[in-house]
Structures are given as C-alpha cells and as structure tokens.
Amino acid sequence: MNVSVGDVVLPGDSCQEIATIGEKSKVILGPGLRKEVNGIFITKAGTLRKRAPNTFWVDNYQKRYIPSRGENVIGIVTQKAGDIFRVDVGGSCSASLSYLSFEGATKKNRPKVVIGDVVYAKMLVASKDMEPEIVCVDSHGKKGRLGVLEDGFVFKCSLNLIRKILNPECPLLNSLKNEWPFELAAGMNGRIWIKANTMRETIALGNAILASEYHSNDEIKSMCSNIASILAGHIS
Amino acid sequence: MVSENTDLKDFKLRPMKCECNYLSKSDGSAILSQGHTVSLVSVNGPLDVKMQSQSIEKATLEVLFSSKGGKPTVGDRYKEHVIRQTCETAILGSLYPRTGITVTIQELEDQGGFLACCINCSCLALLNAGLAMRHTFAAVSCAIDESGNIQLDPARDQLDTARANMTFVFDSREKSLVTGFTEGSYSEDAYSEAVERCRAASHLVFAFYKEIVSKYSNVIG
Amino acid sequence: MADIYKLIHPVKYFNDYISREVRPDGREFHEQRNIKLNVNSIKSADASAVVKCGNTTVVCGIKLELATPKAEEPDFGFVVTNIELPPLCSSKYRPGPPSDNAQVTSNLVSDIIINSKCIDLKDLCIASDKLAWVLYCDMVCMDNDGSLVDACLIALMASLKTLTLPTVTYDSETEEIAVDTSVRSKLNVHGLPVATSFAMNTQEQRNIILADPSSYEEDMCGGLGANLIICYNKGFICGSQKFGGSNLSTECERKAHKIAKERAQIVEEVINVCLKNYENDTNNQ
C-alpha cells in the first residue's frame, strides 16, 4: 500500500513520495524506514513524519531501547571490570564506560564511581554489531551536565514519553518548574531521574510525568496547576 | 487504546476486539478476541541471550506457547513452530544480531480459529513492541463442510461438523501465502478456492491493524 | 576451490547453482531422489520397514499392545506415532529429551494419519469400552538428509500395510482374554497417504520450488525442515502445511500440487511392488 507523510503506516507499506524525492536529491531515512531494491518500505507502525528539507522517519510506540549514537542516556553501573565499568542502559547488551571518560580523570586520579551508581552519559559508539560505549564528557573534555547522578529517584517509561516531554512545545516541564523547584534528567533510553526537596514533591513530579503520556497539551497544563494546588494544601 | 468493531452487517469475519499494551512490564503486548476466541501475547526483545543460542547474523526468535490447561503437549510445540516460522519471515532479524526476541502466547479461550487468533495477536504485539518488520501478516481460518461450502472464520460448533479446516497467513505486501495449515482432506479445487476466499478476507484484518495503530498513534503523537 | 567458495559465500554459492537451473547435487528442480524400501526386516517387531530416500534413512517398527479404550471414546483404538531423532542422524541434534524438531515432525505425521483417515480407529476396537489394540509406531531416523516427513510416512505406511493382527477373543462375563497368534488378520488400510516436501527460494523476483530437498537445501531456504509439505491420499489432499521460507505464489502452488500428485503415484507403486515381492518371498518359503 502506498503512503505519504502524515499517514498512519504499517510495516510493508511503501512510500513512493520519498523515492521520488530521492531520485533528485539526498534523503535522510530515519527509524522505521528502509531502502530496498524496489522502493522505500516502512518497517514500524506509527505516523510517518518529515522535517525540512528531506528527513523522514516513523513516529512509533516503543518501550525497549535500541542504542543509537549521540543520545543521552541514564544507566546503572552494574560491574567494575578493570579499566571499564559495565553500565546497564536497558538495551540488549550492557554498555561500557571507561574510567578515563570522566572530567579531569587520569590514571592517577580515578573517578569515584561504585556499583549501583546512576550515571547520565552520552552514547559514543552504538552499532548493531558492537557493544555500545558511553562517555561522561563532551568532545572538549568537559562534563557539562553528564556524570554521576547523586540521590534522586529513577523510574522507567516508554521512549515516546521521553521524546514528548523533551519536545520544546510540550508545556509539562515549563509548567512544573514554575510550581516548585526540582532537578530532572531524561535519558533517551526511557529512564527519568528526578530530585526534589521533599518526598511528596518527588512523587507528585513522577506521577505528573507518567500521567502526561496520553494527555494533550491543554490537559497537561490544567493537570500541572491541579497538582500544584494539591501539594500546596489548597485542595486535599 | 481499546478498540471495538461490532459492525456485524458487512463483516464477514467474527468481530475483533483488541487492546494493545495490555501488560505493563513487557516490551510489547496485545490481547485479541475474535468472536469468543481470546489470546494474549507478550513480546520481549531485543534481549541478551545465552551464548549457545546466539546467531551472529540475526536475532534468535523464541516462541513459547502455554495452553489453558498449562500442561505442555506435542501439539503446543507444533503451534510454536508454526508461529515462530511465521514471525521469522516478518521480523527483520538482521537488524538485531546476537540478540533474542521472545514471544509468549497464553491461551485464554478457544472457541474455534484459535491458531489464527494467536497469529494475529502476535502480529499486533510485535507492532506494539516496535520491532522492525518486513511486512505485517494476517491469519484467516476457514472450514469446508460436508457439502463443500466454505465458511470463513468458523466458530467451534461449525468446526465440529466440518470435513476440513484450514488456516492461512498472508503478508501485507503482495498478499502471498506465508503459512498454511490444514486439517482434514479435501480436493485441490476446494483448496484453491479456500485460499482465494481467505486472501480476500485478509484485507479486513489488515484494515483492523491500521485502525488499531491509528487509534493509539493519535493519542501518542 | 569450490569448498572454499562455499564457506566464504554460502548464500551466493547456493544461488549460483539455482540461477543455472540446477541443484547442488545435480538434480533438476522437480526431480526427487531414489527410494529404497524393505519391509519386515526387524523380526522382533510386529511389522517394520526401512526406507531410504537418497541419504535420508528411517526405520519404522510397529508394536502391538492391548489396552482399555478411553471412556469418552469407547469404540476407538489407538495409533501412537513417535519419531526419534538421535544424535546419530545429524550433528544438529543433541542427546536428551526429544528436540522441538522431533516433536513437530511427530505431530505432522500423526496429523496426516488422522486427517487421511487411512486407519479407521474403530477397526482396532475388540470389545467396546473393554479392549482395543494400541499400535505403537516408532520411527527412528538413522540419517537425516532432508524431507524427513516424506520418508517417515513411507516407512509407516509400508509397515501398516504388512501389519497383521492376532485374533483376540474377549469373554465379557469372565473378562478373560484369549490371544491366538497363529490366526492373523490383515489390518484394513484405506488408501495410502504420501507426503511430498518442498523447499522454497526466491531469486530475482522468481519463485522456485525444490522437490524432495536435501538437508542442505532446507537450511539454505531458511526453514527448520521443509517449507512446504503436501500430502495426497487417493487423489485428495489430506494436509498442506507451509512454514516460513519465501512466500508462495499461486503459480508455484499449482506446480507443487502437480509434482506431489505425480509423486504420490510413484511412491504408491514402490510400496506395492515391495509388498508384492515380500509376499512372494514368504509364500515361496
């Protein structure tokens, strides 16, 4: 079945539109699209999207993380093996993190990381045939926002929810940050780390994020102010 | 994510109802009822698998079937085999080398056309898990009665009187036969006619898939 | 040279053969392997047969036992088929409990026997709800070189055709069983189901079916065992199973049916000739 941008697509559908553009200029095929001998085919179920000039992808529902280069993820250190740490990022195989890939780390000055720590890191190497490698520094050797996350609370959610709350158009985080102070790190692997001043606030924050998955922007706004007034004790 | 299709008038198959993401902890799941036949499928993967069953070329697909009684039988192994072969042609396993994908099927109610229901439910669960697939697949069952009439998507009582019953699985691209599974004896002509009838009816199943996916895509997107 | 090529480019090696319209073992696409059959070679079994289709070797033995019928089906006897795939037959199998493949093959064969209705289970009943025959049909594969179901079914049918049942008298009052092994009656076998396996491959948009595939061909066509099994009995199809492999076009399907039908006649002839020879031999002795 032939489909075009904006349609709901299923695996096996072909997209003539992309193939035609591809004949004249360069096209970037994102997740859910695949080039075969006789055309461009869909491999995932969802909505076909386009970003100018010629980037196409399928917005699909997914829970399981497949490592992909350059994404920020939240991982849990599971093992210390010589010079590297094994970090569980939720993929099919654990990622490796070298002890040298922390800000200011040298052979003498080892970073303080123990098993069970939560790290916010960037995917450096991610390929289907190799073990993924993550780092806690950028290319200038600065840590930026990466590194070990102290305290706080980690929970899992679907990959779509992460993309949704990180979308600049999503009002969730903007509304919540005006209500009470908190820290938040969202990993593209479907994990969110949050830290607020009190337990009540942390739970309220976590629930607000999970509840926003199936809500529209307006609903999210009203939900946020509702939660804030409950927290402030106006409504019980 | 609940969808109902109770429009019986122009529906040649029994009404289908489905809920995707029924289980919260698995990567993809679906519960599907076709008439009174109900099955539940959960998909997990790509996961780590033990060294000896790893394949360097493609994902290892594992299908587990548990019947209502709970006791594993030779027939269950056979169903697993049929479903695994069907899923294997559809999944682009080469994108996930050295990993494993597990499909677990639980029988909830068997009132005829159970294998077809399991296969359709597996397809929905795979779509829900977001695994890359070459095509979707739809299973349609039919029964041939003593006088040679073909009855699509038979219920339990129709199956009991039938001389043959068949289940066919078609892919969404060329609508060609992926899996065929027959019981009873019949002539070649009856067979070809049954395949054609089921092939035509598979459109309804594909349309149903699209409806389900569009319902939840709209909510998420 | 060819061996190295086969190791480095396994798929291309196979496809090169197919694109030249020939199979790796020199056969044509529709050609089947030679069948060798021998009946009653195991004297300790009530009936037996050894079959060789190319390299695939299967031994079948049938043992008779008496049992009480199931309460829900008091007039029916039992046919229990079991296929064993020991490590002897292929490096794919490990010792231990029956592998998935063995269970699937067992199920396929027993389905064919049930669906073809070649054995009327009522014939096996001696006294309703009291006594019935159980036919334990054990098949052991000695060498698995593809098309296992075909070979198993030939061995099983040849054994069933030679099977004779001793006369049993059952006294319903005293519940006494008397077995007279000197007077034997033949088991009624209706028709002769013959299965034909195919492996399917797609090349350059062309569907190809390979009749009676070897295990190498089955592996290359991406299936656990054959992709398509069609079973004919007295001109009617009594089972058509397709699993995995490339998708089947209508045209190929028609071709497969034609080949299967022709093969059914050939195999039937083989079995009948073998049985006739066997009968002549026993009469001469």
The answer to whether residue B6 sits within a structural domain is no
pLDDT average, residue stretch C113-137: 91
Chain B nearest-CA distance from C9, in A, is 14
Residue B11 confidence (pLDDT) above 60: no
The answer to whether residue B87 sits within a structural domain is yes
| Mean pLDDT, all residues of chain A | 91
Question: What integer pLDDT is reported at residue B9 of this predicted model?
Answer: 38
Question: What integer pLDDT is reported at residue B99 of this predicted model?
Answer: 93
CA–CA distance from B11 to each of A15, A16, C174 (Å)?
29, 31, 61
Write the residue in C100, C104, C237 that is nearest to B191 by C-beta: C237
What's the pLDDT band for B220 if we cut at 50, 70, 90?
confident
- Whether omega for the bond prior to residue C166 falls within 30 degrees of 0, making it cis, is no
pLDDT average, residue stretch B43-64: 90
pLDDT digits (tens, 9 = 90+) for A89-139: 999 999 999 999 999 889 899 898 999 999 999 999 999 889 999 999 988
The answer to whether residue B187 sits within a structural domain is yes
What's the pLDDT band for C222 if we cut at 50, 70, 90?
confident
Query: Is A83 an interface residue toward B (CB < 8 Å)?
Result: no
Chain A nearest-CA distance from B19, in A, is 14
Residue B199 confidence (pLDDT) above 80: yes
The answer to whether residue B74 sits within a structural domain is yes
Residue B3 confidence (pLDDT) above 50: no
Over the range B154-178, which residues count as b (16 or more CB within 10 Å of their CB) and which as e? bbeebbeebbbbbbbbbbbbebbbb
Cα of first residue to Cα of last residue in chain B, in angstroms, is: 13
pLDDT digits (tens, 9 = 90+) for C90-115: 988 989 999 889 999 999 999 999 99
Domain range spanning residue B141?
Answer: 14-220
Question: What integer pLDDT is reported at residue C223 of this predicted model?
Answer: 67
What's the pLDDT band for B160 if we cut at 50, 70, 90?
confident
The answer to whether residue B21 sits within a structural domain is yes
Question: What integer pLDDT is reported at residue B221 of this predicted model?
Answer: 61
Q: Report CB contact under 8 Å: A12, B136.
A: yes
Chain B nearest-CA distance from A200, in A, is 24
Q: Report CB contact under 8 Å: B132, A41.
A: no
Residue B80 confidence (pLDDT) above 90: yes
Q: pLDDT > 70: what percent of chain A?
A: 99
Kindly give the interhelix angle for C250-284 and C148-162, rounded to the nearest 10 degrees.
30
Compute and round to an integer the Cα radius of gyration of chain B. 17
Q: pLDDT > 90: what percent of chain B?
A: 61
The string of DSSP letters for A55-111 reads EEEEEE---S----TT-EEEEEEEEEETTEEEEE-SSSS-EEEETTSSTT--SSS--
Question: What integer pLDDT is reported at residue B91 of this predicted model?
Answer: 94
Domain count along chain B: 1
How far is residue B90's CA from residue C245's CA, in Å, rounded to a whole number?
11
For chain A, which domains are there? 8-60 (2.40.50.100), 72-149 (2.40.50.140), 153-232 (3.30.1370.10)
Question: What integer pLDDT is reported at residue B5 of this predicted model?
Answer: 44
pLDDT digits (tens, 9 = 90+) for A52-79: 889 999 998 999 999 999 999 999 999 9
Question: What integer pLDDT is reported at residue B6 of this predicted model?
Answer: 39
> Of all helices (H) and strands (E), which one includes residue C260?
helix C250-284
| Mean pLDDT, all residues of chain B | 89
Compute and round to an integer the Cα radius of gyration of chain A. 21
Chain A nearest-CA distance from B20, in A, is 11
Q: Report CB contact under 8 Å: A92, B47.
A: yes
Domain ranges of chain C: 30-284
Top-level class of domain C30-284: alpha beta
**Two tokens, residue B3:** 């969808």
How far is residue C203's CA from residue C186's CA, in Å, rounded to a whole number?
50
Q: pLDDT > 70: what percent of chain C?
A: 99
Q: Report CB contact under 8 Å: C248, B176.
A: yes
Question: What integer pLDDT is reported at residue A235 of this predicted model?
Answer: 63
pLDDT average, residue stretch A27-46: 92
> A13 contacts in B (CB within 8 Å)?
172
Q: Give residue C71's Cα distance to chain centre.
A: 30
Query: Is A47 an interface residue toward B (CB < 8 Å)?
Result: yes
Chain B nearest-CA distance from C237, in A, is 5
**How many B/C residue pairs have CB atoms within 8 Å?**
85
Mutation target for B interface from A13, A35, A63: give the one with most B CBs within 10 A.
Answer: A63
The answer to whether residue B5 sits within a structural domain is no
Residue C54 confidence (pLDDT) above 70: yes
CA–CA distance from B201 to each of B9, B83, B112, B152 (Å)?
15, 20, 17, 8
> B184 contacts in C (CB within 8 Å)?
115, 238
Write the residue in B81, B185, B192 that is nearest to C116 by C-beta: B185
The answer to whether residue B1 sits within a structural domain is no
> B174 contacts in C (CB within 8 Å)?
247
The answer to whether residue B169 sits within a structural domain is yes
Q: Report CB contact under 8 Å: A60, B48.
A: no
Beta strands in C99-187 (DSSP E): 125-127, 131-143, 164-171, 176-186
Query: Is A187 an interface residue toward B (CB < 8 Å)?
Result: no
Number of helices followed by number of strands (H, E) in chain A: 5, 15
Task: Indicate the range of B110-114, C168-172, C276-280 predicted with least confidence.
Answer: C168-172
Strand-pair partners of B38 = B33, B109
Cα of first residue to Cα of last residue in chain A, in angstroms, is: 53
pTM strictly above 0.95: no
- What is the residue whose two structure tokens read 């079959």? C51
Strand-pair partners of A192 = A155, A186
pLDDT average, residue stretch B26-50: 94
pLDDT digits (tens, 9 = 90+) for A166-200: 999 999 999 998 888 999 999 999 999 999 999 99
